[in-house]
């Protein structure tokens, strides 16, 4: 049977509609992703209780508590334990979601005006904090800081936090993010490998290069890095800049100054130092194309001497690390004429917890954060997640830490007040992403240090046009 030639035959109709349907296939998912939930939801929270000293936010008994946590390196058992404790105390019924897909799960809820009460907004698919802050989606957490501490009601919560916890929770000058985990950044090495080979942990960049060269002669890669995620090699570059140029150099970058990179000798020296590793062939072969798990696992198999990372590394690699590996932390080695001492380290707070502004039970959300900053909950976290928290001396001494975490704690003690931390990745996502691209090119030897400086400065200049740039100032 052929087509009849009159008007649209059945076959033609089907064919054309199929073709029309087909063109929608690739665009459909992206277009419909763009559709928002539209109107605001006006769900009412539970009845508020009167505000007292024990109940500073007026949590109503027997309400609901909606918690969403990132289920990554720390797992989510700690959160379940917290929720049980919270329900017991306040008679709430909490719902728990542990997921890696924070954006996919929460974006429609933020747009629809019915977000959860507490969110651990972390991981590769976190909703960027600068974006949330610009959309007025984050509750002001200053009230939590000013509330009495659960451990000692004569103290305010703010006085029980480690250095930096407050500053790193600011967005546009407002404290809206509670970063709960305390992490240090630097190089990591195997105590066993170094002992077997008779290497000493380097303190200067020249000694660092010397160990890398010895490693290469022994058939081992010098430096491994998580090439597919240039975030990590940026830690090395940026920390070298901060240590050589001092805190001023770091703040110039965060404050988007016109000479943050260009015309800054510390920046050029740092990039050249990292490039020297590439030029001398001291990188672990192939490391530029590996994911973080692939390169970290190779390092665990003694295929490289050093790897840069934060103190979550040990927990992340638990299954791949040999029993006698003896993981050790090393502060970033010094370039000549550095302003900060060798012991200085990037100590950052991480794992951002937020309470959405439009949370149905905002009071309970705030109370939940206050409870997290108690010694009891902090110890629960340290036990379940093998990590430190932002609560000062918040871990019960009876908790035994693993060797890597222990060495990080020791380094932190040695650093004393000499800790520093960058803000730009939280404040300017686009600039961060552009600098990461440049670093990837640098490590692959496709651009030279001077070109890196130019590109990084261009990214800074672009970010300076962000309307929020005037609120994000550090002094």
Partner 1 sequence: MSQVARSKGRAGFITGFLIAPLALYLTFVIWPYVQTFGYSFTNWSGQSPTFDFVGTDNYATLLKDEVFRGALWHNLLLLVFVPVVTILLALFFAFMVNAGGRSGAGGVRGVGGSRVYKVVYFFPQVLSLAILSVLFGAIYRSDEGGLLNGFLTRIGLIDAQHPVEWLNEPDFVLWALLFVVVWHGVGFYLVLFSAAMQSVPKDIYEAALLDGAGRAQTFFKVTLPLLWDSVQTAAVYLGIAAMDMFVLVSTMTSGQFGGGPDHHSEVMSTVLMRNFLYFGKSGYACAMGVVMLALTMILSIVTLRATRRERIEF
Q: Between the CA of residue 468 and those of 107, 165, 177, 255, what are the distances in Å? A: 22, 21, 17, 11
Pick the closer one to partner 1 by CB: 30 or 417. Answer: 30
* Residues in contact with partner 1 by the rule CB under 8 A: 2-3, 19-20, 22-28, 30-40, 103, 107, 110-113, 127-128, 130-132, 134-137, 227-230, 281, 284-290, 294, 298, 429-430, 433, 436-438, 440-441, 444, 446
Minimum gap (Å) between residue 169 Cβ and partner 1: 18
Q: How far apart are CA 313 and CA 301, in angstroms?
A: 15
Minimum gap (Å) between residue 45 Cβ and partner 1: 19
Minimum gap (Å) between residue 27 Cβ and partner 1: 4
Pick the closer one to partner 1 by CB: 84 or 444. Answer: 444
Per DSSP, the three-state class of 452 is helix
Smallest CA-to-CA distance from 396 within 384, 415, 373, 380 is with 380
Instruction: Sort residue 315 into left (φ over 0), alpha (ψ -120 to 50) or beta.
Output: alpha
Pick the closer one to partner 1 by CB: 39 or 54. Answer: 39
Smallest CA-to-CA distance from 374 within 33, 171, 45, 81 is with 81
Pick the closer one to partner 1 by CB: 137 or 190. Answer: 137
Tally of helices (H runs) and strands (E runs) in the chain: 17, 12
Minimum gap (Å) between residue 149 Cβ and partner 1: 32
224, 307 Cβ separation under 8 angstroms: yes
Pick the closer one to partner 1 by CB: 23 or 475. Answer: 23
Pick the closer one to partner 1 by CB: 99 or 103. Answer: 103
Q: How far apart are CA 239 and CA 355, in angstroms?
A: 31
Cβ-proximal residues to 344 (8 Å cutoff; 6+ apart), any chain: 242, 243, 331, 415, 418, 419, 420
Smallest CA-to-CA distance from 371 within 149, 164, 176, 169 is with 149
Per DSSP, the three-state class of 444 is coil
Q: How far apart are CA 58 and CA 202, in angstroms?
A: 54
CA geometry: angle at 222 spanning 217 and 226, to 5°? 150
Pick the closer one to partner 1 by CB: 269 or 443. Answer: 443
Minimum gap (Å) between residue 14 Cβ and partner 1: 12
Minimum gap (Å) between residue 435 Cβ and partner 1: 12
Minimum gap (Å) between residue 259 Cβ and partner 1: 25
Pick the closer one to partner 1 by CB: 161 or 354. Answer: 354
Minimum gap (Å) between residue 75 Cβ and partner 1: 23
């Amino acid at each position: 049977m052929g087509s009849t030639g009159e008007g649209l035959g059945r076959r033609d109709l089907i064919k054309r509609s199929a073709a029309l349907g087909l063109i929608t296939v690739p665009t459909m998912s992206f277009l419909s992703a763009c559709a928002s939930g539209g109107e605001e939801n006006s769900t009412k929270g539970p009845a508020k209780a009167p505000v007292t000293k024990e109940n500073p936010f007026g949590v109503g008994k027997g309400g609901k508590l909606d918690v969403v946590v990132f289920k990554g390196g720390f797992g989510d058992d700690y959160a379940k334990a917290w929720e049980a404790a919270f329900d017991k105390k306040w008679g709430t019924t909490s719902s728990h979601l542990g997921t890696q897909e924070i954006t996919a799960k929460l974006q429609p809820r933020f747009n629809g005006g019915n977000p959860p009460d507490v969110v651990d907004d972390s991981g590769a698919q976190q909703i960027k904090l600068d974006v949330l802050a610009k959309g007025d989606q984050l509750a002001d957490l200053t009230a939590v800081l000013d509330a009495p501490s659960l451990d000692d009601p004569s103290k305010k919560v703010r006085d029980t936090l480690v250095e930096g916890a407050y500053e790193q929770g600011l967005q546009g000058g407002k404290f809206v993010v509670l970063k709960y985990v305390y992490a240090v950044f630097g190089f990591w090495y195997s105590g066993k490998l170094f002992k077997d080979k008779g290497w000493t942990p380097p303190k200067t960049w020249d000694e660092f290069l010397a160990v890398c060269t010895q490693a290469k002669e022994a058939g081992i890669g010098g430096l491994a890095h998580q090439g597919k995620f240039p975030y990590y090699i940026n830690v090395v570059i940026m920390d070298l800049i901060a240590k050589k140029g001092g805190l001023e150099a770091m703040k110039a970058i965060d404050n988007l100054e016109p000479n943050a990179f260009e015309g800054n000798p510390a920046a050029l020296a740092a990039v050249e130092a990292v490039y020297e590793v590439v030029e001398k062939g001291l990188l672990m072969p192939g490391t530029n194309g590996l994911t973080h798990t692939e390169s970290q696992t190779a390092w665990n198999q003694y295929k490289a001497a050093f790897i840069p990372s934060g103190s979550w590394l040990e927990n992340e690699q638990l299954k791949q690390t040999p029993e006698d590996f003896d993981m050790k932390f090393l502060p970033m080695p010094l370039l000549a004429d550095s302003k900060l001492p060798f012991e200085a380290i990037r100590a950052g707070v991480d794992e951002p917890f937020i309470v959405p502004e439009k949370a149905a039970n905002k009071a309970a959300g705030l109370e939940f954060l206050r409870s997290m900053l108690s010694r009891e909950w902090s110890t629960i976290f340290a036990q379940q997640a093998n990590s430190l928290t932002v609560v000062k001396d918040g871990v019960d001494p009876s908790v035994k830490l693993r060797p890597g975490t222990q060495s990080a704690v020791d380094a932190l003690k040695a650093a004393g007040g000499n800790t520093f931390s960058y803000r730009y990745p939280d404040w300017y996502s686009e600039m961060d992403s552009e600098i990461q691209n440049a670093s990837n090119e640098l490590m692959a030897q496709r651009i030279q240090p001077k070109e890196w400086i130019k590109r990084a400065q261009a990214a800074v200049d672009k970010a300076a046009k962000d309307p929020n740039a005037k609120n994000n100032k550090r002094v």
